[in-house]
Amino acid sequence: MNKDFKGRYELSHAGLAMAVMGYNRASYVIDKNMKVVLFLDSIKRYMVFVKPYWKAIIITIIIGLLKFGIPLMIPLVMKYVIDDIILVEGMSQDEKTSILLTVMGALLFVFIVLRPPIEYYRQYFAQWIGSKILYDIREQLFNHIQKLSLRFYSNRKVGEIISRVIHDVEQTKNFVITGLMNIWLDTATIIIAIIIMFNLNVWLTFVAISMFPLYGFSIKYFYSRLRHLTRVRSQALADVQAHLHERVQGMSVIRSFALEDYEEEQFAKRNGKFLSKALEQTKWNAKTHAVVNTITDVAPLFVILASGYLVIQESLELGAMTAFVMYMERLYSPLRRLVNSSTTLTQSIASMDRVFEFIDEKYDIKDEPNARELAKARGEVKFENVTFSYEQDEKPVLKDLNLTINQGETVAFVGMSGGGKSTLISLIPRFYDVTSGRILLDGTDIRHYKVRSLRDKIGMVLQDTVLFSDSVKTNILMGNPDASEEEVILAAKAANAHGFIMNLPNGYDTEVGERGVKLSGGQKQRIAIARVFLKNPPVLIFDEATSALDLESEHYIQEALEILAKDRTTFIVAHRLSTITHADRIVVIENGEIVETGNHDQLISQNGSYKKLFEVQQLN
């Protein structure tokens, strides 16, 4: 290798190394600045919830200043007792005793009579403000939860959502109590103590605060990392909670398949991951406390050394030294509390990040700016060139589908599983929006209606009936919360449910358990149908409403459904073809496309897909 080439080679590599170093440094700065921006953004957004209570916060801080300010009198009193009573020459013992008793009587009055109510109201107002803010946040989160699309819930675990609403929101309360109150009170205590110490001795005060820069550097160094570890720990805890929630709900499956040992291993993995993250955070937190507490413990030793030397040199009175050493405790105790507060705030802000990350989830289904109320619906539904995919990069589930359903018509959708039947009917109430094309209700694109008013005109009975862990009556009232008790009973009778309800231990007031666990499948379905009777909508959707029921339950429910469907536009997704032979029209869907349409007799005569499905079921 010649010298010229070698020089260029080394130069190019040096340049590359410098470029890489510069890039890494720039990346570090960008990453650091981004973290600061996100940190400030979370606090700024949280302050929106705090703003309505700022007057109460100021009052609480003022009360807190009184609470923390009163103990600052004690070192000055101690100085006075030593220098102006005990060590004073020419004063009799009786005079000294009298003055001492007077001073102590005044202090006892302050600490026994004045300070307790101050402490009470400070604690009460602080907790009251924090609880009110959490109430407001959870209320917004619940409203947010109700607006998120089914696509969101299909990709999220229920337990993780609950963790955000309960655990993470609760953690943010410490930001109010610690960040907006205690930190300011501790800071005010430190400032007041320093002012008093300067008045006692300037040079000793400089010795006392000489460790502040090192304290500040250690806080900055440790807490940037601690915030990240706290966020990771919170996510690991949410994963444990989500897994636990699913397994509790599916306990019958675990028992029936004897999966206890396997599930114990699965839970241990997630619990172990949380333990690992928790210990990592705990380790870093312990390092923080070890370093910071060492700094705050060493500082008073320097003061004792310096003040002791000044007393020996007779440049400082003994009472002043005693007061100064006592003020060191008043100075560094708030500093230690600030360390704990920093840890608490780090956890709060990490939880805050997770709360706002959840709030920032976008709504797939939104009202258009000029969306109008659907006051009344006739029930004519038209699908025009409807194509739909659950995700943009996925294969379409429905492909260029066209269909018109007339007012009052009963249309059944049949076909093999996975053909797109349930997907099609889920587009009508806008659980999802079409990828292309449009759906018209009474000649108007359903996206032009307000979503809630559209869904208010649609009644649904699904295969997987969801009942809430409340009374039978409350579950039926979901159809119309303002209905009277008489209307509830009439709806139950129309749904063939009144008879079995009256045989329950407490009739309509019987608690059904979580998801209606105390009722049979047929009983749950009849309550769901009673809900729809009470709602009285012009459009009905039955999605596999009887497929999982025994013949007797199916008979009762089929009878109720036929009464309910009278003079209403009705969509039926059916697996059991014998239940839809009465339909005005039957639509056969395969691979997201309509392949046949007609009534039962017409489709049988066509010798197509419908006839094959029907004959297979008849043979079974």
Q: Three-state SS for 395?
A: coil
Query: Which residue do the tokens 């103590």 mark?
Result: 193
Lowest mean pLDDT, pick from 391-395, 410-414, 538-542:
391-395
Other CB atoms closer than 10 Å to residue 407's CB: what's the count?
A: 15
Residue 98 predicted with pLDDT over 70: yes
Instruction: Give the mean pLDDT of 45-55.
Output: 86
- Which CA distances in Å does 289 have to 94, 222, 223? 49, 10, 11
CB contact set of 133 (below 8 Å; sequence gap of 6+): 49, 50, 53, 172, 173, 176
Per residue in 231-249, pLDDT (tens digit) is 788 788 878 887 887 787 7
Residue 390 predicted with pLDDT over 90: no
State how far the Cα of 139 lies from the Cα of 134, in Å rounded to an integer: 8
DSSP H helices in 386-439: 421-426
Give the model's pLDDT for residue 32.
47
**Could you tell me the pLDDT band of residue 550, with boundaries at 50, 70 and 90?**
low
Q: Are 568 and 393 in contact (CB under 8 A)?
A: no
Maximum mean pLDDT: which of 72-76, 309-313, 403-407: 403-407
Give phi and psi for 595, each to the nearest 5.
-110, -25
**Could you tell me the pLDDT band of residue 549, with boundaries at 50, 70 and 90?**
low
Residue 347 predicted with pLDDT over 70: yes
Instruction: Give the mean pLDDT of 70-93.
Output: 82
Residue 341 predicted with pLDDT over 90: no
What mean pLDDT, rounded, does the chain reach? 80
453's tokens: 């008013």
Q: Three-state SS for 250?
A: coil
Q: What is the DSSP letter of 379?
A: -
455's tokens: 């869904």
CA torsion angle 531 457 541 567 (round to 10): 90
**Could you tell me the pLDDT band of residue 545, with boundaries at 50, 70 and 90?**
low
Lowest mean pLDDT, pick from 37-41, 86-90, 201-205:
37-41
Per residue in 129-187, pLDDT (tens digit) is 888 888 898 888 888 888 877 777 777 777 778 878 887 888 888 777 776 777 778 88
**Could you tell me the pLDDT band of residue 3, with boundaries at 50, 70 and 90?**
very low
Per residue in 455-497, pLDDT (tens digit) is 888 888 877 777 888 888 988 888 888 888 888 888 888 888 8
Other CB atoms closer than 10 Å to residue 367's CB: what's the count?
A: 16
Other CB atoms closer than 10 Å to residue 219's CB: what's the count?
A: 18
Percent of the chain surpassing pLDDT 70: 89
**Could you tell me the pLDDT band of residue 6, with boundaries at 50, 70 and 90?**
very low
Instruction: Give the mean pLDDT of 446-453.
Output: 90
State how far the Cα of 345 lies from the Cα of 351, in Å rounded to an integer: 10
Residue type at 282 in one-letter notation: T
State how far the Cα of 255 lies from the Cα of 267, in Å rounded to an integer: 15
Maximum mean pLDDT: which of 16-30, 459-473, 546-560: 459-473
Q: What angle do CA 360, 366, 370 make, to 5 degrees?
A: 130
